[in-house]
Chains A and B, each alone.
Chain A
Amino acid sequence: MAGGSESRSDRCYRALLRLLPFDFRTEFGTDMEEAFREQRADAAPGKGAWIRMWWTTVRDMVRMAPREHGSVLAQDTRFALRMLRRSPGYTLGAIVILALGIGANSAIFSVVNSVLLKPLPYAQDEQIVMLEQRGRKADTLNSHFSAPEIADYRTRSHSLSALVEYHSMLFTLLDPAGAQRVRTGVVSANFFDFFGVRPMLGRGFRADDEKSGASAVLLLTYEFWKQRLQGDPAIAGKTFAMNDRAHTVIGVLPPLPQYPDDNDVYMTTAACPFRSANAADRHWRLMSVFARLKPGFSPESSRTELAGIAQGLEKEYPANYPKTPGYTVSLATLRDELTRKARPMLLLLFGAAGFVLLIACANVANLILARMSRRGKELAIRSALGAGAHRILRQLVTENLILSLAAAACGLGLAASSLSVLKQFAGPFTPRAQEIGMDGRVLLFAIFCAVGTAVLCGSAAAFQSRKDIPQGTREGNARAARLRAGLIAAQVAFSYVLLVAAGLVTRSFVQLQNVNPGFQAHHVLAMAFDLNWSKYREQEQIRVACRRLLERVEAAPGVLSAALASGFPLDPDAMAMGRWTGRFRIYGRNDAQSEAPAPAAIRVVTPGYFRTLGIPLLGGRLFRESDQAGSAPVVVISAALAKHYWQDKSPLGDRISFDGDKWLTIAGVVGDVREYTLDHDAPEQVYATLEQFPSASSLLVRTDADPATALAQARRAILELDPQIAIRLTKTLDEVRADSISPPRALSRVFGFFAVLALVIAIGGLASMLALSIQQRQREIGIRIAVGATPGAVTAGFVRQGLLLTGAGLGVGFACAFGMSRLLRSLLFEVTPTDPLTFAAVAALLFAAAFAACVVPARQAARVDPQIAVRSE
C-alpha cells in the first residue's frame, strides 16, 4: 500500500480502537497499533489479502468490544456494591429519597401515559371527531343536534364519513328483582362498528334493529352485566321490560372507557320513544354526533365545510336558527374531547412531580458530596495507585447508577401500589381513568429518570473529584462547601415553588368549600327517583302520586319539612345530563322578532322546596297550596334573573311566557342558588309549581337530626307508593356538596402531598448539611470555645448560616413562584395566582421549618468539648 494510505489505515485502526473501553486503550492501544502496523506491512500483496485482513480485524474488534465493556462494568459494579454496603446509612437514605422522587414521577407519568399519550382503544382513533353546534356570537354551550340536522350533515358533508348519533336517557328497567334506573345510550345501529368495538358476548346492532317497527334490542355494558346481572353467561336472548316494551338482550360489550356518559345499556334510536316521537322536529336537539374524517381532510378543512353547511341551513330554515346566538357547527377530535379537562391539570402535576425529583436529586448530590469529602483519602490513594481521573469518574457514575436503579425499582413499586388511588383521583377529570396502568413505557420512563438522576447527582460529585484529587484538600473543601450550599438553596427554592402551588390550590379549595351556595345543605336528605313515564302518562296521575308521597314523608318522625322537585342543586346527574332550560318572553316588551328569547333554568317544585333547602324569599310570596292546576299560573324567579331583566324595578306582577301562549305571573323573588357547580355563578332561575306543571324526580327532606335516619323512611314511602319507582341516588345534601368539589379536593391533596414531600426532603437536607459542616469544623469550634466564644454565639453562628441559605433559596423560589404560578390560574377559584397571603404564609412556614432544622445541629456545635475537638485532629 502506498504511504498515504498507510497513514489513513493507521487512523482508521485508531478510530476502531475507540470501540474499546478507555482503560483497555490506555493499557494496550499503542502496542496494538504497532502490532497492526507490522501485520499490515507483512501482509500478502493484493486486494484480496488486504480485504481479508481488515475484515478479520473489524469483525473481531466489534465482537470483543461489548465483552470488554461488560467486564469493566461488572468490575465497577462489584466494587460499587462493596462501597455501598460499607455505608448502609448513606445508601438507604439516598435510595429512599430518590425512590420518592422517581416514584412520584412514575405515578404521574403512568396517568399521563394512559390518559394523554396512549391511543384510544378505538379503531383509527385519530380520525374520530365530535361535532358541536353552538352560538357563533355568544359562547353558548354545545347545543347538540336534532334528527333532521343529523340527516342534513350526513348527506351534505364530503369531509366526513359515517356520521353516528348518540344521546343518553334514564329509563326504568323492570326485572323480577324490581325496578332499576338504567342510563341508556341511544345510538345509531352502526355506532359500535364505527368505533371498532365488537361485543364480547352475543352480537352487535344491525341495520334492521334501527328500522321503525323493529323489535327493541339491548346491548349491555360490561360493568352493568358484571355488577347487576352477576356476569350471567347465558344473558343473550333474555328479555326485560322497559318503556312498556319487551327488550331483548343481544350481547355484552367489552370493558371500555365510555364517552360522553357512563351508560348501563345501549339501544338503537328506533327503541327510544322520545327520539322516535321527535324524529322530524328540527328544534328537538338532544343528540351528539360522532364522525370520521375522510382521508385527505384535516379537522380545519372539515370545520370550514361544516360552517358552510350550517350557514346554508340557517338560510333554509330561518325559524329554526334565531339570529341572536347565530348558530355554527364545529368539530373537535375525540381524543381532545376525552382529555380536555385532564390535560392542564395532569401537565401541572407532572411539573410538580418533576420538581420533587429535582429536589431529591439536589439532596442526593449533597449526600454524595458529603460522602466524597469523607472518601477523599480513599480516592487520593486510588489516584496515586494509577487509577486515572476517567476511571474514578466511571466508578462514581456506576455507584450512582446502581443507587438510582435501585431507587427506580422501589419507585415503580410505590407507583404500582398507588394505581387505585390514581384512578380514583383521575376519575372526575377524564373517562379514561380506568385505563390507567403501568406498561413498558412507564418502565422505560423510570429507567430514564434513574439514568438522568445518576448523571445529575453524580456529575457534580465527579466534577469535584476530578478537580480535587490531584491537589486535594482545603481549596477543594471550600469549593465543595460552596456547591453544597448552592444545592441546599436550590432545594429550598424548589420547595417554595411547590409549597406556593399547593398553598394556592388548597386556598382555592377552601374558598370553594366556604362558598355560600344559596341553600342550606345541613340536615337535608336528597333522593333522586324516576316515575316510570310510561305508567304516569297523565298529569293528574303525577299530581296524585306526588301528593301521596309527600304526605307519607312529611308524616314521618323527625321530618321538619319535605319537598318534591324536578331536580336539586349540585345533582351530579343533572350536571352530566345537561340543564333543563327554556327561553321566555316578558309580556309587554317588544323584542325584535330576530332576537332570541332570554334563556332561564327551570325548576318545578312543591311549596315546601324553599323552606326545605333554606332558600330565602326576597320579595313577593312563595308558592301556596292554593296555586292549583285550575288557578292562575304563577312563577317565582331568582334574584339574578330579576336583576338582569328588571334591574331596579320590581318584577312582581309582571308576566312571562315560555311558549308565547301561556303567561305566568311572577309572584315572588328568591335568593340565588349555585345549581350546577360551586365555582360558577348562580344561574338565572324560574321556579314553577308542581301542581301547575307536574313533574318530579327528586325528594328533599329536612330532618331535625342526622338525615341518614330519614333515609329508610323515605325509601319505604316511595316503594310503598309504587314498587316500580326506581331510586337512583340517595345522599345527604352535605355529601352531594362535598362530591361536587371532589376534583379540586383531589388536586389540592396531590399538590399538598408533593409539597410536604419536598419540604421534608429539603429541610432534612439542610439539617444534615449543617450537621456535616459542624462535624468538619469541630476543631475550629473547639478553638473558638476555648478562646471564650459562648455556646449561644456558636449556635447563633450556625443558625445564621442555615437561615442565610434558606433566605437565598426563598429569594430565588419567590421569583420562580411568581413567574410560574400563573400556570395555575385556570385551576384557581377566587384566589389570584400571586396571592400575597399564600406567598407570605408559605415563606413563613418554610422559614420556621428551616429554623427548627438549624437549631438542632447548631446546639450540638455549642456542646463541642474544646479539649477533645482540638486533640481529635
Chain B
Amino acid sequence: MDNQTPLTPAMFHVLLALAGTEKHGYAVLKEVHEQTRGEVQLSTGTLYGIIKRLLADGLVTEVRHRPPTEEDDQRRRYYALTPEGRSAAAAEARRMEKLIDRARSKRLLQSLESA
C-alpha cells in the first residue's frame, strides 16, 4: 500500500461494494447508495475516476468472463477486487474498527447508542 493512493471514504465504499461479487459500474453506484441508505451518492464521473485509480493501483481488476447472456449487456464492463484490494479494504476496516474501539473506550459511542 505504501506507493498507492491513500484510500478515500469514496474509494473504500467502492471496494466494499465489490467485496461481495464482481459488478459493473452502475451496480456499484447502486450498491453504495443502498448500503449507505442514500447517504453516499456517487456520480458516474466520480465512480470512474475512482475505478481508474483502483485499477492503476492494482486493487481492482476488470473481469474477462461475462455473466449469462440474458443478464449481460455488451456495453458493460465488470470489475472485481484483487487480493491486494481485498487486503487494502480489510486493513482500512481494521483501522476503522480500532478507531471505533477508541471512541467506545472514551464513552463516545455509548452515549450515541443509548441515545
Contacts and interface: CB of A to CB of B under 8 A. Distances in A.
Interface in A54-76: 56-57, 59-61, 63-64, 67-68
Given A34-B76, A42-B30, A60 B52 contact: no
A34 B75 contact: yes
Contact of B75 (A30, A56, A60, A64): A30
Contacts of A61: 43, 45
Contacts of A39: 26, 29, 44
A32 B75 contact: no
B51 interface: yes
Contacts of B76: 31, 34
B66 to A, nearest CB: 14
A64 B29 contact: no
Main secondary structure, interface of B, reads helix
B49 A32 contact: no
Contacts of A38: 26
A35 B25 contact: yes
B19 interface: no
Interface size class of B (residues with CB under 8 A): 10 to 19
Given A35-B24, A35-B29, A39-B26, A27 B47 contact: no
Given A34-B76, A39-B44, A57-B44, A64 B25 contact: no
A32 B52 contact: no
A224 interface: no
B59 to A, nearest CB: 16
A79 interface: no
Interface size class of A (residues with CB under 8 A): 20 to 34
Contacts of A28: 48, 51-52
A27 B44 CA distance: 14
Contact of B45 (A30, A31, A32): A32
B36 interface: no
B26 A34 contact: yes
Given A36-B44, A60-B43, A31 B49 contact: no
B75 A31 contact: yes
Nearest to A59: B43
B61 interface: no
A35 B47 contact: yes
A339 B108 CA distance: 77
A646 interface: no
Contacts of B44: 32, 35-36, 39, 57
B46 interface: yes
B77 interface: yes
Nearest to B53: A71
A24 interface: yes
A28 B77 CA distance: 9
Nearest to A20: B45
Contacts of A57: 43-45
A24 B49 CA distance: 9
Contacts of B41: 56
A56 B43 CA distance: 6
Nearest to B55: A27
B76 to A, nearest CB: 6
B48 A60 contact: no
B46 A60 contact: yes
A30 B25 CA distance: 11
Max count, chain B CB within 10 A of own CB: residue among A27, A30, A35: A35
A378 B30 CA distance: 44
A60 to B, nearest CB: 4
B49 A68 contact: yes
Interface string B61-93: 000000000000101110000000000000000
Given A31-B75, A31-B77, A60 B45 contact: yes
A70 to B, nearest CB: 12
A64 B45 contact: yes
A56 B45 CA distance: 9
Contacts of B77: 31
A62 to B, nearest CB: 9
Contact of B49 (A30, A35, A56, A64): A64
A31 B43 contact: no
A60 B46 CA distance: 6
A34 B52 contact: no
Contacts of B24: 31, 34-35
A32 B26 CA distance: 8
A774 B60 CA distance: 52
A30 B74 CA distance: 10
A28 B55 CA distance: 12
A20 B26 CA distance: 19
A34 B73 contact: yes
Contacts of A35: 24-26, 29, 44, 47-48
A32 B48 contact: yes
Contacts of A27: 52
Contacts of B29: 35, 39
A619 B81 CA distance: 112
A219 B41 CA distance: 73
A699 B77 CA distance: 98
B90 to A, nearest CB: 27
B53 to A, nearest CB: 9
Max count, chain B CB within 10 A of own CB: residue among A57, A59, A64, A67: A64
Interface in A820-839: none
A31 B24 CA distance: 9
B9 to A, nearest CB: 15
Contacts of A34: 24-26, 73, 75-76
Interface in A16-64: 20, 24, 27-28, 30-36, 38-39, 42, 56-57, 59-61, 63-64
Contacts of A68: 49, 52
A32 B46 contact: no
A54 to B, nearest CB: 10
A36 B25 CA distance: 9
Contacts of B43: 56-57, 59-61
Interface string A115-136: 0000000000000000000000
A30 B51 CA distance: 14
A34 B72 CA distance: 13
A423 B43 CA distance: 59
Contacts of B75: 30-31, 33-34
Contact of A31 (B30, B46, B48): B48
Contacts of A30: 75
Max count, chain A CB within 10 A of own CB: residue among B24, B26, B29, B43: B43
A860 to B, nearest CB: 48
B79 to A, nearest CB: 10
Contacts of B49: 64, 67-68
A27 B48 CA distance: 10
A63 B45 CA distance: 9
Interface string A715-743: 00000000000000000000000000000
Interface of A: 20, 24, 27-28, 30-36, 38-39, 42, 56-57, 59-61, 63-64, 67-68
Given A59-B43, A60-B46, A63-B45, 10 more contacts: A27-B52, A28-B51, A34-B26, A36-B44, A39-B44, A60-B43, A61-B43, A61-B45, A67-B49, A68-B49
Interface of B: 24-26, 29-30, 41, 43-49, 51-52, 73, 75-77
Going nearest first, the 5 A-B pairs with the smallest beta carbon separation are A35-B25, A60-B43, A35-B26, A38-B26, A61-B45
27 contacts: A20-B45, A24-B52, A27-B52, A28-B51, A30-B75, A31-B76, A32-B25, A32-B44, A32-B45, A34-B25, A34-B26, A34-B73, A34-B76, A35-B47, A36-B44, A38-B26, A39-B26, A39-B29, A39-B44, A57-B45, A60-B43, A60-B45, A60-B46, A61-B45, A63-B45, A64-B46, A64-B49
